[in-house]
């Protein structure tokens, strides 16, 4: 996301020459393609591999990430980069879902949310260190260098998993049919909708944070990395807090956090032209949105019954539906000449819609369990 302008300028030169805004908006398809790969792969791969040993699976998926990143760096055209990103996204949901199950088992009873948060902290710390560093590399040496470095990191991660993660069996009784039975639960669909819509606003803003910093706040490209550090730092704090909130009641945490996200996006829109306030708001924005993620995953695991592998993977499908939705809608309002702050209002609308879905879920749950209402 931090090197989106470089991708647009390099692979869409004619469009860039006539309209950088349109070029950046179209380049957002690269993000959407990866997200769609995650969505497709999460359900199919997780369901098909639920009975296999978990450690072996995460190693195989990490190898696939490495290969996908190399293909992304080598692709000569915009269309081939889009295809490579789609292929690279396929194992994402199953990887993080199974990793979350490993962590939840290691953490023990009553700490599933904290186990999920532990795995997700890898993503949040990556946003503090990796994303800004890769953005600098992309700005200095080209976006292709960024993907090669990502591939090297994945290769190191593969070795680290093989050396340190304990062996853990899969579910020998799992079948594709049993895992897919989760889709018969209305509450599973509602939880997926909350994650997809409620977090879409995060990606609407995050996907276009680079032009927000340079065009709205009037800062140089070097400040984009600092903006990403602010978001990532907030995500790290929010994720850890979110794990504890999830263990105390996932659905309750969701209905509290979504209005806060909507209000924070309004604040971000109001202060974005002031650099100091923009960076402070980006930190808070990362925190409140990241706090929501463990609750969504815990909620999915709560309502999925026996299909725990699929439920854990579906959280990442939901996140990446939000990623695709947010990137697409954010790009659309920018291309429509509403400006680089318009994605914040897209986020407000999506957070409110996610809250409405969560309230429907709570109402149905109370109707089914009157003693709890």
pLDDT in tens, the chain (373 residues): 778 888 988 998 888 898 887 888 888 888 888 878 887 887 788 777 777 888 888 999 999 999 999 999 999 999 999 999 999 989 887 888 788 878 877 877 667 667 777 777 787 777 778 877 888 888 889 899 999 999 999 999 999 999 988 887 776 666 667 667 767 788 888 988 898 888 888 888 888 888 888 888 888 877 887 888 888 888 888 888 887 888 778 888 999 999 999 999 999 999 888 888 999 999 999 999 888 888 887 888 788 777 767 776 777 778 778 877 888 888 888 888 888 889 999 999 999 999 999 999 989 888 866 433 3
Instruction: Give the domain CATH number at 187.
Output: 1.20.1250.20
Position of tokens 């962590």? 103
65 falls within a domain: yes
Tokens representing 361 are 């879920």
369 falls within a domain: no
Tokens representing 49 are 């591999």
199 falls within a domain: yes
Q: In the chain, count H helices and then E strands.
A: 20, 0
Number of domains comprising the chain: 1
pLDDT tens for each residue of 153-196? 999 999 999 998 888 777 666 666 766 776 778 888 898 889 88
What region, left, alpha or beta, does residue 292 occupy, with left being phi > 0 and alpha being psi -120 to 50 degrees?
A: alpha
What range defines the domain where residue 320 resides?
4-361
370 falls within a domain: no
> CB–CB of 295/257 below 8 Å?
yes
Cβ-based neighbours of 323, under 8 Å, separated by 6 or more: 31, 32, 34, 35, 38, 200, 203, 207
Angle (nearest 5°) at CA 89 between 88 and 92:
115
> CB–CB of 81/184 below 8 Å?
no
373 falls within a domain: no
Angle (nearest 5°) at CA 188 between 324 and 30:
10
371 falls within a domain: no
């Amino acid at each position: 996301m931090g090197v989106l302008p470089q991708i647009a300028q390099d692979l869409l030169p004619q469009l860039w020459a006539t309209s950088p805004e349109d070029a950046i908006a179209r380049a957002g398809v690269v993000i959407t393609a990866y997200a769609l790969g995650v969505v497709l792969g999460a359900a199919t791969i997780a369901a098909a591999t639920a009975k296999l040993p978990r450690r072996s699976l995460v190693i195989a998926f990490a190898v696939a990430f490495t290969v996908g990143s190399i293909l992304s760096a080598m692709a000569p055209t915009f269309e081939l980069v889009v295809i490579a990103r789609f292929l690279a996204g396929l194992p994402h949901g199953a990887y993080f879902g199974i990793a979350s199950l490993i962590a939840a088992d290691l953490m023990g009873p009553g700490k599933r949310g904290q186990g999920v948060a532990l795995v997700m902290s890898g993503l949040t710390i990556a946003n503090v260190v990796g994303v800004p560093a890769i953005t600098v590399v992309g700005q200095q040496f080209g976006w292709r260098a960024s993907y090669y470095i990502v591939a090297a990191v994945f290769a190191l991660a593969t070795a680290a998993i093989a050396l340190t993660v304990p062996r853990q069996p899969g579910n020998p009784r799992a079948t594709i049919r049993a895992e897919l039975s989760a889709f018969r639960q209305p509450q599973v669909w509602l939880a997926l909708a909350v994650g997809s819509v409620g977090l879409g606003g995060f990606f609407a803003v995050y996907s276009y944070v680079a032009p927000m910093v340079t065009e709205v706040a009037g800062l140089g490209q070097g400040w984009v990395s600092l903006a990403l550090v602010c978001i990532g730092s907030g995500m790290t704090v929010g994720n850890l807090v979110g794990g504890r909130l999830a263990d105390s009641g996932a659905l309750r945490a969701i209905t509290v956090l979504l209005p806060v996200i909507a209000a924070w996006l309004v604040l971000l829109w109001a202060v974005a032209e002031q650099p100091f306030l923009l960076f402070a708001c980006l930190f808070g924005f990362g925190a409140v949105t990241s706090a929501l993620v463990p609750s969504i995953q815990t909620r999915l695991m709560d309502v999925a019954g026996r299909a725990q592998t699929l439920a854990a993977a579906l959280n990442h499908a939901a996140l990446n539906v939000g990623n695709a939705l947010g990137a697409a809608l954010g790009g659309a309002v920018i291309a429509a000449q509403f400006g680089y702050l318009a994605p914040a209002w897209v986020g407000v609308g999506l957070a409110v819609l996610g809250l409405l879905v969560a309230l429907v879920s709570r109402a149905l749950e109370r109707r089914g369990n009157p003693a709890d209402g």
